[in-house]
Structure 1
Amino acid sequence: MNLLTAQAPIRVPRSGKGLALGIWRFLVVALVLMLSLGFTQLAVAQAEPDREMRTAAPSISADQWRQVRSGETDANFRDSRFDSNYNLINSSGETWRQLRNRWVSPFGLIAIGGMIAVIALFYFIVGRKRLDEPRTGRKLFRWSLLMRSLHWTVATLFITLALTGLNLLFGKFVFRTLFGDAVWAWMISASKVLHNYLGPIFGVLLVVLLISLLKDNIPKKHDWVWFKKGGGLVGKGHVDAGFANGGEKAWYWLLASVGLIVVASGFVLDFPNYGQGRDTMQWANIIHAIGALGLTAVSIGHIYIGTLGTEGSIEGMTTGYVDETWAKEHHNLWYEEVKDQAMSEEEMAAQKTGSNSGGASATKPS
């Protein structure tokens, strides 16, 4: 089972390889620039370790705090945001803090930890889903180089954002205790820079990927049967599936709904200079955290099924080809459409030789 789905295989010019290479080069340059920004910020912070202390507010009495909270301010009061009527201390900020620390963070950790525990238990009890029949050695083309490059780029960005987000949310309880303030300061600063700068890139590429894969993810009647039979775990025999089965379509539409909500809320947080107030930023933060934690939990199950959990699934996304037996067992409706295109290793080698000599190779469109 692959991370996402694509269209039926046809032939396109070799220019897709050049485009994929261009995408990778762009991403490498962008990553280098973002890392340089992170190290620059760290260098400045280390050069002036007392800067924050010099600009900190002097000691304030309890009466003054009560005055600020109640709104009874004088001409010396200055708010921290332009054109804002919020007090320095406001109830909405405390509500946000309570929601984030008492509900979102704990239950997000439970969701992710619970998913890992369920997968581990399933693996030790049921084991890996192996092919029922021997491999034929004949291959069917499933993923083009361009689609594989786009898939792995989005997947890599997703994992990076998930790890940096988890570090921002929970890292202080683990790494600060283990490594001390100096290492923890570097980790949190680097995580913040990576998360803020990679997020928009992920959002744009996710939209491109979703548009490219829309056609094969339209729900069909047999998808409901796929869910009722638990993807083949309930009852006997294989369940019908086209190029994308019910589980892959569910993951697609989860990304197309919750994923885009996470991206949109992330843009609100990433660009606070477009007039949004504190209340908007606070709710965007809560929505972003809930959606991101939920997607991270589900993605762990998805990654397991597409790699260790199912024999032959990851081959399509690494080589572009899948074995005939795998296609017949997991995507039988698609197999019936393309079974006459199956090739042996010798035929594939001959086709590759012809492609390198200047001919067109079999690839899927983006």
Structure 2
Amino acid sequence: MIRILLGLILSLGLVLSAPVSAQDNSPNPPNDRTSTGGAQNLQDILDRQNQKRIDDQFRRDATGAEEGAPAIDQLGTLGGASDSDIWRAYRYGSADVRVSGGGDVAKTVMQSGGMWWLKFRATTLHTLMTYSIIGILVLLALFYLIRGKIRISGGKTGRKVIRFKAVERLGHWTLAISFILLALTGLFTLFGRQIILPLLGREAFSTMAIAAKWIHNNVAWAFIIGLVMIFVFWVKDNFPDKTDIKWIAQGGGIFNKNLHPPAKKFNAGQKVIFWSVVIFGTSVSVTGVSLLFPFQIPLFGHTFEILNAMGLPQLVGFGELNTALTPQEDMQFAHVWHALLAGLLIVIVIAHIYIGSVGMEGAFSAVGTGEVEEQWAREHHSLWVEQVLAEERAAPKDAQEV
């Protein structure tokens, strides 16, 4: 899972740093700008439209000169710098900006690199989130129509086995409820302007947006607490072992009503969900805290330095990632990474909710009452229930009565 997370970070850097650093690394022939007196020409415009890397040093350096026409008075000349020169210096960060407070963040007067983030959020992110959520819902509906509800195939015994203690269920529901609230408010923030605003109007949307922001920012702490709780309670039972190989080879018995591969307390599918929630949830939490405290916890400049040092971007032919990120750019990367992983978690959790409710008979009681039907346990977690029953039989009678 660590490799997957690292690969996702690398992919994000490679894809999203392209507009900031280099979209196309193919070498371009030298561009002769003598006909325009050193200014940009048609070839520069075409190269930018084709997302090619251009040498814009000629523009970066064109920020005026101290020598030139002298400034006479307020109505006279600007000396050696024109308005376009000044704004160009702002754009490329070469202007001598002085602020009384706010540090480097306040010194960024113009950040044209943020346009890629705005476009990505308004188009690509919307598309990915929409198709992912609709896609998983359609797949689950089709699976239910074809397979139906996974029933307890053997005769019910009427005996109950304790699966999760009260404190374990508290951790699960703290995480689950907080995640649902975060997912709903996050989706509202992403799609609200396009869907809710036209339907309810500006005033109603404004009230809902303020409430969604407050819920999202504060419920996040409950999510982090729940994440820590379930990790502490269940990590020891979620390490992969050889029984998972057989479970995966038999498809978990999902497609065969009479097949029940052996499993311990958690089967291979549950382990995948557990580690996905732990790893992706941790990453979402870290970027979320970074967004809660803007510009205080920069993450991606240092992350890209590590990837460059490991040689991963160079290995796939992208060259070194841009590490000289402005505070605004670092926040934009944090937002995109936060949203992408949150979307992935939403898809995973939707599948988890399905199998734990309408998809499988007897599954919900495990986190509902904490007890499961013994036959359900034998069919889905046979190795675990055998161990539990053996421990009960070996326990002193006095302890069993207590």
- Mark yes or no: TM-score above 0.5: yes
Other-structure match for 2:293: 271
Look up the equivalent residue of 2:184 and give its one-letter code: L
Q: 1:174 to 1:69 in 2, by over 3 A?
A: farther
Map 1:9-158; keep pairs closer than 5 Å: 68=87, 70-71=89-90, 81-84=102-105, 87-158=108-179
- Compare 74-83 and 223-232 and name the one that shifted more: 74-83
Match of 1:287 among 314, 317, 337: 337
Match of 2:368 among 318, 324, 329: 318
Other-structure match for 1:168: 189
Look up the equivalent residue of 2:338 and give its one-letter code: H
Other-structure match for 1:212: 233
Measure, in 1, the Cα distance between the counterparts of 2:162 and 2:134.
36
SS at structure 1 position matched to 2:161: strand
Q: 1:275 to 1:164 in 2, by over 3 A?
A: closer
Residue 88 of structure 1, CA deviation: 3.1
Deviations 1:142-179 (A, max 9, x none): 11111112211111001000000000001222111111
Measure, in 1, the Cα distance between the counterparts of 2:155 and 2:242.
30
Q: 1:112 to 1:86 in 2, by over 3 A?
A: farther
Residue 80 of structure 1, CA deviation: 9.5
Deviations 1:253-274 (A, max 9, x none): 1012111111111011011252
Residue 207 of structure 1, CA deviation: 1.7
Map 1:197-208; keep pairs closer than 5 Å: 197-208=218-229
Deviations 1:227-248 (A, max 9, x none): 2222113566211110101111
Other-structure match for 1:305: 355
Measure, in 2, the Cα distance between the counterparts of 1:231 and 1:80.
60
> TM (normalized to structure 1)?
0.71
Measure, in 2, the Cα distance between the counterparts of 1:158 and 1:65.
48
Structure 2 unmatched runs, 5+: 1-81, 299-326
Residue 69 of structure 1, CA deviation: 5.3
Other-structure match for 2:273: 251
Measure, in 2, the Cα distance between the counterparts of 1:340 and 1:243.
14
Measure, in 1, the Cα distance between the counterparts of 2:192 and 2:250.
40
> TM (normalized to structure 2)?
0.65
Measure, in 1, the Cα distance between the counterparts of 2:336 and 2:173.
28
**1:184 paired to 2:234:** no
Residues 156 and 375 in structure 2, CA contact (< 8 A), matched pair in contact too: yes
Q: 1:75 to 1:283 in 2, by over 3 A?
A: closer
Residues 217 and 249 in structure 1, CA contact (< 8 A), matched pair in contact too: yes
Q: 1:69 to 1:182 in 2, by over 3 A?
A: farther
Other-structure match for 1:237: 259
Question: Runs of 4+ in structure 1 displaced over 4 angstroms?
Answer: 63-67, 72-81, 340-343, 359-362
Look up the equivalent residue of 1:247 and give its one-letter code: G
Deviations 1:304-333 (A, max 9, x none): 000110000001211111111100000011
Look up the equivalent residue of 1:97 and give its one-letter code: L
Structure 1 unmatched runs, 5+: 1-62, 344-353
**1:194 paired to 2:209:** no
* Aligned Cα root-mean-square deviation (Å): 2.9
Residues 69 and 88 in structure 1, CA contact (< 8 A), matched pair in contact too: no
**1:221 paired to 2:271:** no
Other-structure match for 1:262: 284
Measure, in 1, the Cα distance between the counterparts of 2:297 and 2:254.
51
Residue 289 of structure 1, CA deviation: 0.4
**1:333 paired to 2:383:** yes
Instruction: Report % sequence identity.
Output: 34
Measure, in 2, the Cα distance between the counterparts of 1:71 and 1:234.
61
SS at structure 2 position matched to 1:140: strand
SS at structure 2 position matched to 1:91: coil
Residues 69 and 90 in structure 1, CA contact (< 8 A), matched pair in contact too: no
Looking at secondary structure, tell me which structure has more helix per residue.
1
Measure, in 1, the Cα distance between the counterparts of 2:334 and 2:97.
31
Q: 1:275 to 1:221 in 2, by over 3 A?
A: closer
Look up the equivalent residue of 1:100 and give its one-letter code: R
Residue 79 of structure 1, CA deviation: 10
Q: 1:275 to 1:310 in 2, by over 3 A?
A: closer
Residue 116 of structure 1, CA deviation: 0.8
Greater RCO (Cα-Cα under 8 Å, separation 6 or more): 1
Q: 1:79 to 1:117 in 2, by over 3 A?
A: farther
Residues 69 and 89 in structure 1, CA contact (< 8 A), matched pair in contact too: no
